Chains A and B, each alone.
Chain A
Amino acid sequence: MNRNDAWIRLEGIEKRFKVATRTAGLKEATKALFVRKHTVVEALKDISFSIREGEIVGYIGPNGAGKSTTIKVMSGILVPDEGQCSVMGYIPWKDRTEYVKHIGVVFGQRSQLWWDVPVIDSFELLRDIYSIADGMYRDNLAMLTEMLDLEAILKMPVRQLSLGQRMRCEIAASLLHSPKLLFLDEPTIGLDAVSKLAVRNFIKRLNREQGVTVILTTHDMSDIEALAERILMIGKGTLLYDGTLDELKERFGTGKTVTVDYRGHSEPITIEGTTLIEWTTERAVYGFDSEKVTLAEMVTRLSESVEVVDLAVSAKDIDEVIVQLYAEHQI
């Protein structure tokens, strides 16, 4: 392993939270005022991975899986209970003020801009917070304005921006100090198709031209498909998968569903090697495994019995893959 392999390295990271529990009811609520029962939730269990400089890594998993907690540990917000983490030679939570000069963080659901003032004012305050040198600030601002097409919106108060415009400003705001590592926590949440595309293209370009390492969490698989060469999947605090998206698809993606619309037919048609998921007199949904039965066979079999109007094939979506991964890991 060369030095570059461990630009970011997490080893055996564990994090537990104490959560107060109480059952419903006024009586219980009153009791909870005095006596609290705590349950310990293991948010992260033995998480280890390393990331090379210049990678784009997609970090995925269902809600509450531990994505944000991992990001918080890596960005120095949280101190883990167990394990080691080093990023660019820093221990994030120990060297916080020194370390955070080199990272940018975008929380998709939370703004870092000042709501009532023009965007440019927020940028200038950030320049002072990060003590960015004048020349560097000017260059970065010019570059980001051009790449994210901000010219027209810089003088507008943040509260008047659309979500897409705001997100572009958020991303620009977190890059003014030329960080080498960028954390994006759900950067495309709630964006329309055009804005999503703009954000994705920018991230790609930033990575290619400036060599910025990007760690991205998302629920949108098209984000991952467009951006990340590598994905890390986490579920219930455990790292379930570390590899490329294609490999993952190969492993789990052979299952597909076929939706068929046909002229009225009074009874369901069963096809060998498939499962009938849904059936009405005009539509049927089949689940099939392309290793067991080919699409051609299915179509032939269907057209023997009904007059097919429309047919759609879809690959299994990521949620199903996750469910399958869970089953495999017996969580």
Chain B
Amino acid sequence: MRLYIKYLSIHLKSQMEYRTSFLLMSVGQFFIPFMVFGSLYFMFQRFGELQGWSFFEVALCFAVIHLAFSLSECFARGFDSFSSLVAGGDFDRLLVRPRSTALQVLGSKFEFTRIGRLLQSVIVLVWSVSNLPQIWSLPKLLTLLLMIANGTIIFTGIFILAATFCFWTIQAIEVANVFTDGGREMAQYPLNIYEKWVTRFFTFVIPFGCVSYVPLMYVLDKREGSMFFPMVITFGGVLFLIPCLLIWRFGVRHYRSTGS
């Protein structure tokens, strides 16, 4: 963990060498999801509600997912851009260092310009929370934090899976974007508005349901029960991460025996 922070600081220093570019990128990143959010807003303007979900409820869901996505893009960028590490042969360098490969890949790149996107999501989050008085309680706000953390872990898991494929294909496969960008687009709405099989897929295969559906229902008082269950279920992302890391290790072993 200490080493991770060291990696973080060296990348921050590097990024600060190019201040103007950093600022412009961040501003750009601020406006990208802004457009998406704008369309969300105008849709509700026209239709009023979405299968019983009000604008601020969906906005909350939107903010949680986008926050999680930008956090994972910022801190797990190393996996997202892993193909260049393999194609350039720099992965060999990581293998002659006495640390786990996952940690080193994680530390190989950070994308601080995502701070723009992050900021935008935080604004939406604060705005929607302030308009939803039913969640102003400590356990619920805590659950909200857990939801964000969990979402970050799930996106990171997908990035790891996508990176693992690079051991076989060398080039990054765009298919993975179906699950990262696609997953983000799907999960920014409450999952029950979709067909059943979509909901199932995003609950049991890629557990976005643990972020943007089940706990959300509790937080918004859409389902009765104690807070214990949703708080537990938000750890579903960790369960998802474990197989991802195992598959990663398998990929590393494949790389070392083929050298491709």
Contacts and interface: CB of A to CB of B under 8 A. Distances in A.
Interface of A: 15, 17-18, 69, 72, 75-79, 81, 93, 96-98, 100-101, 103, 105, 107, 110, 112, 114-117, 121-122, 124-125, 128-131, 157
Interface residues of B, number: 27
A125 B11 CA distance: 11
A107 B93 contact: yes
Contact of B6 (A15, A76, A110, A125): A125
A128 B6 contact: yes
Chain A interface, DSSP helix/strand/loop, else mixed: mixed
B17 interface: yes
A102 to B, nearest CB: 9
B96 A121 contact: no
Contacts of B93: 105, 107, 110, 112
Nearest to B91: A77
Given A117-B10, A117-B13, A121-B10, A129 B98 contact: yes
B13 A121 contact: yes
Contact of B2 (A81, A128, A130): A128
Interface stretch (B50-58, B137-145, B173-181, B252-260): B252-260
A200 to B, nearest CB: 23
12 contacts: A18-B258, A76-B95, A77-B96, A77-B256, A77-B259, A100-B95, A100-B96, A114-B10, A114-B14, A128-B2, A129-B98, A129-B99
Interface of B: 2-3, 6-7, 10, 13-14, 17-18, 88-90, 92-93, 95-100, 104, 253, 256-260
Contacts of B6: 124-125, 128
Contacts of A157: 17
Contacts of A124: 6
Candidate in B90, B256, B259 with the most chain A CB atoms within 10 angstroms: B259
A117 B95 contact: no
Contact of B98 (A93, A101, A114): A101
B214 to A, nearest CB: 39
A35 to B, nearest CB: 16
A183 to B, nearest CB: 8
B98 A72 contact: no
Given A110-B89, A115-B14, A125-B7, A130 B98 contact: yes
A79 B257 contact: yes
A128 B90 CA distance: 19
Top 7 A-B pairs, shortest CB-CB distance: A116-B14, A79-B257, A77-B95, A97-B98, A116-B17, A105-B96, A101-B98
Contact of B97 (A18, A107, A129): A129
B256 A98 contact: no
Contacts, number: 78
Contacts of B99: 97, 129
Contacts of A130: 97-98
B259 A103 contact: no
Contacts of A18: 258, 260
A160 to B, nearest CB: 11
A76 B96 contact: yes
A96 B258 contact: no
B109 to A, nearest CB: 11
Contacts of B18: 116
A76 to B, nearest CB: 7
A17 B256 contact: no
A259 to B, nearest CB: 41
B3 A110 contact: no
Contacts of B14: 114-117
Contacts of A116: 13-14, 17-18
B98 A100 contact: yes
Candidate in A77, A107, A110, A115 with the most chain B CB atoms within 10 angstroms: A77
Contacts of B97: 100, 129-130
A128 B3 contact: yes
A68 B99 CA distance: 22
Contacts of A15: 259
Contacts of A100: 95-98
A222 to B, nearest CB: 27
A17 B13 contact: no
Given A77-B95, A116-B17, A129 B3 contact: yes
B253 to A, nearest CB: 8
A126 to B, nearest CB: 8
Given A117-B13, A125-B10, A128-B6, A17 B258 contact: yes
B92 A77 contact: yes
Contacts of A121: 10, 13
Contacts of B7: 125
A128 to B, nearest CB: 5
Given A100-B96, A116-B14, 15 more contacts: A17-B259, A17-B260, A18-B260, A76-B96, A77-B96, A78-B259, A79-B253, A79-B257, A93-B256, A100-B98, A110-B88, A110-B90, A128-B2, A128-B6, A129-B97
A96 B13 CA distance: 30
Nearest to A102: B98
A75 B10 CA distance: 27
A78 B257 contact: yes
A87 B23 CA distance: 50
Contacts of A77: 92, 95-96, 256, 259
Contacts of B88: 110
